[in-house]
């Protein structure tokens, strides 16, 4: 079964720093990888979806990369802001159409 791991589990940075969140997966035969954001007590918001044929996707200050062969993805956040504070989850689809999620990285950006 596909296992998805996110490191670190928690991260605290001062405002303005660039940061990288990591996601690894055990089965490299993935169709895509998706990054989500979750604010406390809320649902998930899709940030970026990288198809297996792509190496990276960008949206504003966010850049996600995918290296299938090594089973890794990174989410790069440039010039972090307090409003970026949230939990970030990565997920890959399994053969049954649902998503396998990592347990997330809880990010705190301090003013």
Partner 1 sequence: DVKVTQSSRYLVKRTGEKVFLECVQDMDHENMFWYRQDPGLGLRLIYFSYDVKMKEKGDIPEGYSVSREKKERFSLILESASTNQTSMYLCASSRTALLTDTQYFGPGTRLTVL
- Secondary structure of residue 78 in the 3-state scheme: coil
In 3D space, the residue among 56, 55, 106, 62 whose CA is nearest the CA of residue 85 turns out to be 106
Give how far the C-alpha of residue 94 lies from the chain's centroid of Cα atoms, to the nearest Å: 17
Options 19-27, 57-65, 68-76, 87-95: segment touching partner 1 (CB under 8 A): 87-95
Give how far the C-alpha of residue 4 lies from the chain's centroid of Cα atoms, to the nearest Å: 11
Minimum distance between the CB of residue 89 and partner 1, rounded to whole angstroms? 8
* Among positions 2, 22, 24, 32, the unique one binding partner 1 when judged by CB under 8 A: 32
* Residues engaged in binding partner 1 (CB under 8 A): 31-32, 34, 36, 41-46, 49, 51, 89, 91, 93, 96-99, 101-104
């Amino acid at each position: 079964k596909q296992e998805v791991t996110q490191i670190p589990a928690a991260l605290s940075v001062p405002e303005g720093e660039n940061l990288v969140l990591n996601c690894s997966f055990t089965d490299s035969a993935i169709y895509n990888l998706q990054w989500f954001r979750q604010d406390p007590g809320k649902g998930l918001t899709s940030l970026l979806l990288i198809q297996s044929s792509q190496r990276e996707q960008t949206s504003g200050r966010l850049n996600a990369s995918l290296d299938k062969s090594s089973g890794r993805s990174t989410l790069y956040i440039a010039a972090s802001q307090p409003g970026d504070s949230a939990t970030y989850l990565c997920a890959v689809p399994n053969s049954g159409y649902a998503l396998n999620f990592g347990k997330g990285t809880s990010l705190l950006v301090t003013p």
